Structure 1
């Protein structure tokens, strides 16, 4: 389907969502410079992964053309050595963050500053792995928020994982330990809201705000954009 939504986060950044229903064959004609992207498509990707990969780049190009942020006309989306997307042909400091899960693809496109976005299909995996990525206080707070076996517990833990993924992308560094360097503060669990967060790098702490919502039942979305001061 076409671009699902475009949300202005600031004068220099937009958040876009794509509801993925297309096959790879349907996505290729929507992608500028398709011949170039054919050489970049991961050779081992199955049809589902191909569709997610392609729709992410279709979404970014749609944002480039519709977001009115004055990007150069000829831009390609590539991945660096860590797997993060970057914009070939864009200005110094221009940034993009991309995520896909199930039927949703999300991207934040910004002219300067830092950005992170993550979309996750709600599963019980995050709850099972909570002790590995949540600090003791975060885990205790999550456990206190739900009675044993509560139906919305999986959504809560998936949200916590997603928020840390967004904070990790905002940091743009490898080797970060989710449990000790990506910390989430207290918040009221709702369908949409904000989560205070702390990033611990090189002994210094910085404060951030992670926004969250549910693009559709069964999914959570988190994102953050911080313009240049």
Structure 2
């Protein structure tokens, strides 16, 4: 299976990242645990990509908690919740699935594949008083704001209610995002590869 990384942060906080290279059939073959989802997957999804994203997240949870794997459900808002009561955040992009879980703390994660598509919609999420002159900084802005939106899910933030402070992208770093609705700022970690931008708040 194409498990890339399972990373432990503070005690009880874990990030898992999966590169989806399997077919749906290979998911079931390589991890028999996933067979409990076969009927649900077939009923819920027509898209093969959506099926694989769903299975990749459950495979990650089974990898992290092999003895007592929690189930994922969703609040009416769409926010994911785990059957064991832990906090969870989930994201998918082209060929990747990621989640972050914490026993106690609020967490959030987002992943976006690298493409210049973001420049076509930059005016919808980048404020006039923000600096994001190139595609990479625009992707970090977008992904970091998605992460902050999830972290403050009850605030129902809009893009322009979040402000990213100036960064100079490197392979890894941290950006400060201001939640202007609360007049508070938070740190968002980011990582850049040739394939994607990953942002998270552990």
Same-fold status (TM-score > 0.5):
yes
Shift of 1:193: 0.4
Q: 2:122 aligns with which of 130, 139, 163?
A: 130
Cα distance in structure 2, aligned partners of 1:16 and 1:74: 14
Shift of 1:124: 1.9
The 5-angstrom pairing of residues 35-50 of structure 1 reads 35-36=36-37, 38-39=39-40, 43-50=44-51
Q: CA-atom RMSD, angstroms?
A: 2.1
Paired residues, number = 201
Answer yes or no: is the 8 Å Cα contact 1:15–1:107 preserved in 2.
yes
The 5-angstrom pairing of residues 44-193 of structure 1 reads 44-65=45-66, 73=68, 75-88=70-83, 90-91=84-85, 94-138=86-130, 141-143=131-133, 153-173=134-154, 175-180=156-161, 182-193=162-173
TM-score by length of 2: 0.89
Shift of 1:196: 0.8
Q: 1:213 aligns with which of 183, 191, 197?
A: 191
Answer yes or no: is the 8 Å Cα contact 2:45–2:51 preserved in 1.
no
CA distance 1:59–1:74, shift in 2 (3 Å)? closer
Answer yes or no: is the 8 Å Cα contact 1:3–1:62 preserved in 2.
no
Answer yes or no: is the 8 Å Cα contact 1:60–1:109 preserved in 2.
no
Secondary structure in 2 aligned to 1:10? coil
Cα distance in structure 2, aligned partners of 1:99 and 1:12: 20
Cα distance in structure 1, aligned partners of 2:105 and 2:27: 30
The 5-angstrom pairing of residues 20-39 of structure 1 reads 20-29=20-29, 30=31, 32=33, 34-36=35-37, 38-39=39-40
Answer yes or no: is the 8 Å Cα contact 2:28–2:34 preserved in 1.
no
Counterpart in the other structure of 1:147:
none
Counterpart in the other structure of 2:177:
197
Shift of 1:50: 0.9
Cα distance in structure 1, aligned partners of 2:183 and 2:42: 38
TM-score by length of 1: 0.79
CA distance 1:159–1:11, shift in 2 (3 Å)? same
Counterpart in the other structure of 1:222:
199
Cα distance in structure 2, aligned partners of 1:33 and 1:167: 31
CA distance 1:116–1:135, shift in 2 (3 Å)? same
CA distance 1:170–1:158, shift in 2 (3 Å)? same
Q: Which moved more, 1:25-34 or 1:74-83?
A: 25-34
Secondary structure in 2 aligned to 1:187? coil
Show structure 1 runs of 5+ residues with no match.
66-71, 144-152
